[in-house]
């Protein structure tokens, strides 16, 4: 059961081969057994989850079920969830019970999915290893001495360790794709504006995008069907026709045959993503994946993303700038943490924020405050915005020559817990291949494509043009029909 696809689970629930309550219990028991060690969940509330499962069963009994009705889903603790603690991995919100549901939570609720719990994450989504969480690091289920990636490390770990059939996550610079790669699952960051940010606690508003994590492209497509859609409460949400992301999964590429379903697909391979910094084990796995795509009929096209080397510096100006302002609301006045003792207002602010935020969050607030300061704004923020436009322009040129862009999701497999905590720049470089998509607002996904050093998973990054999620998912699905990397599960959790 725990290796079943969402489609299979959905069918089993509809056929009443299993009830949602039974299914939810299976996962709650696994969480009970394994979470102590893996630390994937911050909050689990069996009573609430089982009540939702009971409602889902009633709905199925009435014959009113949707594809995800009754399926337990774990939510990253960045999504405000009514009646649940929503901590964002921070001491600042350790006591914050949200009085409202994020748009994404509301959509899953309307679909009849069960909230399985709230997953661990880097504090305010700032991190690439899940080590900045106030609730402690999440362990990689493939080897517990290693990080699962971040910031959505809890969600990635939950899916990889089969503690949840599926999970939600968010991605500002790679926070869905990098942990998906490091834990051997499939994750998708949609085009900016496809998933409403309402109720998703903001890190960097112009880069943040919610998306799904699952065991396969097919699962991810089913989840995206629920998550995507216009929301008038988010001004950056895109008003466009709803899409069925599962409909064309099996359809071969235009003009291709079932035997070679990707005949005619042009895969852009950016030379900048295969140079210095890419570890050889990852490079080999990616090369093998590209060869597999060629067997499916696809053709490689050499492309260049000349400005991609500027993406990490530009990102580490823009994201902290927005974060420094977004996190100002955590001031101890209305909700969340407040220092127990203070002399006056200024002292209350200083102590509350000094004690409530962890080191990485404070580092980024300081960087962001600096780059927005009078006299530095033009040199940093405005220049970074210009770089951002250049990077987006690189992709416009690239997509004239290819249909998708492929390369490694992360330069290395998972690294040891503690290995990079004292070197922020090394940590930041972990997202070097994922950040350009956030800066350009483009969709990107990671699919498992093999194993590298220490028998740890490698992720293949598939980038697409704006709103090409359905095509990207189909490309990934054809690959997953021909391979079984996505079916592998860490031995220690079965």
Partner 1 sequence: MEWEVVIGLEIHAQLSTASKMFSGASTEFGAVPNAQACAVDIALPGVLPVANSGAVERALRFGLAVNGNNADNISRRSIFARKNYFYPDLPKGYQISQYELPVINGGTISIVLKDGQKTIHLTRAHLEEDAGKSLHEDFHGMSGIDLNRAGTPLLEIVSEPDMRSAEEAVAYAKAVHSLVRWIDICDGNMQEGSFRCDANVSVRRPGEPLGTRREIKNLNSFRFLQQAIDYEAKWQIETLQDGGTIHQATVLFDPDSGETRAMRSKEDAHDYRYFPDPDLLPLVVTEEWIERVKGGLLELPQAKRERYARDYGLSVYDAGLLTQSRETTVYFEDMVGQLGTEAAKVCANWVSGDLAAALNRDNLDIAQSPVPSAQLAGLVARIRDNTLSGKMAREVFDAMWRGEAASADELIEKKGLKQISDSGALEAIVDQVIAANPKSVEEYRAGKEKAFNALVGQAMKATRGKGNPAQINEILKKKLAG
User: For partner 1, which residue of 74, 202, 262, 305 counts as binding (CB under 8 A)?
Assistant: 202
User: Other CB atoms closer than 10 Å to residue 186's CB: what's the count?
Assistant: 30
- 242 scored as a contact of partner 1 (CB under 8 A): no
**Residue 113 CA: distances (Å) to CA of 55, 119, 247:** 10, 16, 20
User: For partner 1, which residue of 325, 355, 421, 454 counts as binding (CB under 8 A)?
Assistant: 325
Q: Which is nearer to partner 1, 329 or 401 (CB)?
A: 329
Q: What is the largest CA-CA distance in the chain?
A: 74
- Tell me the closest approach of the beta carbon of residue 237 to partner 1, in angstroms: 9
- 123 scored as a contact of partner 1 (CB under 8 A): no
In the residue annotation, 422 being an active-site residue is answered as no
User: For partner 1, which residue of 63, 374, 378, 494 counts as binding (CB under 8 A)?
Assistant: 374
CA-closest candidate to residue 227, choices 247, 214, 211, 206:
211
In the residue annotation, 151 being an active-site residue is answered as yes
Q: Which is nearer to partner 1, 115 or 327 (CB)?
A: 327
CA-closest candidate to residue 109, choices 154, 149, 49:
49
Considering only 18-26, 56-64, 325-333, 453-461, which stretch makes contact with partner 1 by CB under 8 A?
Answer: 325-333
- 100 scored as a contact of partner 1 (CB under 8 A): yes
Near partner 1 in 331-370, by CB under 8 A: 331, 333-335, 345, 349, 369
Considering only 15-23, 61-69, 99-107, 213-221, which stretch makes contact with partner 1 by CB under 8 A?
Answer: 99-107
Which member of 5, 49, 98, 151 is catalytic?
A: 151
Q: Which is nearer to partner 1, 345 or 396 (CB)?
A: 345
Per DSSP, what are the bridge partners of residue 447? 460
- 279 scored as a contact of partner 1 (CB under 8 A): no
Q: Which is nearer to partner 1, 130 or 170 (CB)?
A: 170
- Tell me the closest approach of the beta carbon of residue 345 to partner 1, in angstroms: 7
Q: How many chain residues are in contact with partner 1, going by CB under 8 A?
A: 44
- 11 scored as a contact of partner 1 (CB under 8 A): no
Considering only 195-203, 245-253, 295-303, 409-417, which stretch makes contact with partner 1 by CB under 8 A?
Answer: 195-203
- 197 scored as a contact of partner 1 (CB under 8 A): yes
Which member of 5, 49, 76, 237 is catalytic?
A: 76
Considering only 228-236, 250-258, 259-267, 395-403, which stretch makes contact with partner 1 by CB under 8 A?
Answer: 228-236
Q: Which is nearer to partner 1, 33 or 329 (CB)?
A: 329
Considering only 168-176, 319-327, 404-412, 424-432, which stretch makes contact with partner 1 by CB under 8 A?
Answer: 319-327
- 483 scored as a contact of partner 1 (CB under 8 A): no
Q: Which is nearer to partner 1, 14 or 85 (CB)?
A: 85
User: For partner 1, which residue of 44, 93, 285, 402 counts as binding (CB under 8 A)?
Assistant: 93
Return all residues near 295 (Cβ < 8 A) that are at least 6 apart. Answer: 482
- Tell me the closest approach of the beta carbon of residue 195 to partner 1, in angstroms: 13
- 191 scored as a contact of partner 1 (CB under 8 A): no
Q: Which is nearer to partner 1, 62 or 334 (CB)?
A: 334
In the residue annotation, 325 being an active-site residue is answered as no
Question: Could you list the active site residues?
Answer: 76, 151, 175
Q: By the criterion CB under 8 A, which residues form the site for partner 1?
A: 79-80, 86, 88, 93, 96, 98-100, 102, 197-202, 204-206, 232-236, 321-322, 324-325, 327-331, 333-335, 345, 349, 369, 372-374, 377, 381
């Amino acid at each position: 059961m725990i290796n079943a696809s969402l489609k299979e689970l959905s069918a089993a629930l509809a056929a009443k081969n299993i009830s949602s309550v039974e299914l939810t219990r299976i996962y709650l028991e696994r969480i009970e057994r394994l979470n102590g060690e893996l630390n994937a969940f911050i909050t689990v509330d069996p009573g609430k989850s089982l009540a939702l499962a009971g409602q889902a069963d009633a709905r199925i009994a009435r014959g009113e079920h949707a594809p995800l009705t009754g399926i337990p889903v774990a939510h990253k603790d960045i999504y405000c969830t009514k009646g649940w603690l929503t901590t964002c991995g921070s001491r600042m919100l350790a006591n914050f019970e949200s009085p409202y549901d994020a748009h994404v939570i509301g959509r899953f609720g309307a679909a009849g999915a069960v909230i399985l719990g709230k997953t661990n994450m880097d504090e305010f989504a700032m991190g690439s290893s899940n080590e900045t969480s106030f609730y402690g690091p999440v362990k990689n289920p493939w080897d517990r001495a290693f990080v699962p990636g971040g910031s959505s490390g809890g969600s990635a770990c939950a899916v990889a360790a089969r503690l949840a059939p599926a999970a939600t996550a968010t991605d500002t610079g790679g926070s869905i794709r990098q942990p998906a790669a490091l834990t051997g699952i499939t994750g998708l960051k949609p085009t900016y504006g496809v998933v409403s940010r309402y109720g998703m606690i903001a890190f960097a508003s112009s880069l943040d995008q919610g998306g799904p994590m699952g065991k396969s492209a097919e699962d991810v497509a089913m989840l995206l069907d629920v998550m995507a859609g216009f929301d008038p409460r988010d001004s950056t949400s895109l008003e466009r026709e709803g899409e069925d992301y599962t409909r064309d999964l099996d359809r071969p590429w235009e003009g291709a045959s079932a035997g070679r379903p990707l005949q005619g697909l042009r895969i852009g391979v950016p030379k900048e993503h295969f140079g210095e910094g890419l570890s050889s084990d990852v490079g080999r796995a990616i090369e093998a994946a590209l060869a597999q795509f060629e067997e499916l009929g696809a053709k490689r096209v050499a492309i260049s993303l000349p400005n991609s080397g500027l993406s990490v510096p530009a990102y580490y100006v823009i994201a902290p700038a927005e974060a420094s302002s977004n996190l100002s609301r955590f001031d101890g006045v209305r909700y969340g943490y407040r220092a127990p003792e203070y002399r006056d207002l200024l002292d209350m602010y200083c102590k509350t924020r000094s004690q409530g935020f962890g080191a990485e969050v404070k580092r980024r607030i300081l960087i962001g405050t600096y780059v927005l300061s009078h006299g530095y704004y033009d040199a940093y923020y405005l220049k970074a915005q210009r770089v951002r436009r250049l990077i987006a322009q690189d992709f416009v040129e690239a997509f004239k020559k290819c249909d998708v862009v492929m390369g490694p999701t992360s330069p290395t497999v998972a690294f040891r817990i503690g290995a990079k905590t004292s070197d922020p720049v090394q940590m930041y470089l972990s997202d070097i291949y994922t950040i350009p998509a956030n800066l350009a607002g483009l969709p990107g996904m990671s699919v498992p494509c093999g194993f590298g050093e220490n028998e740890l998973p490698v992720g293949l990054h598939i980038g697409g043009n704006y709103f090409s999620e359905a095509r990207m998912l189909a490309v990934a699905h054809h690959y997953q029909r021909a391979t079984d990397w996505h079916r592998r599960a860490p031995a220690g959790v079965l």
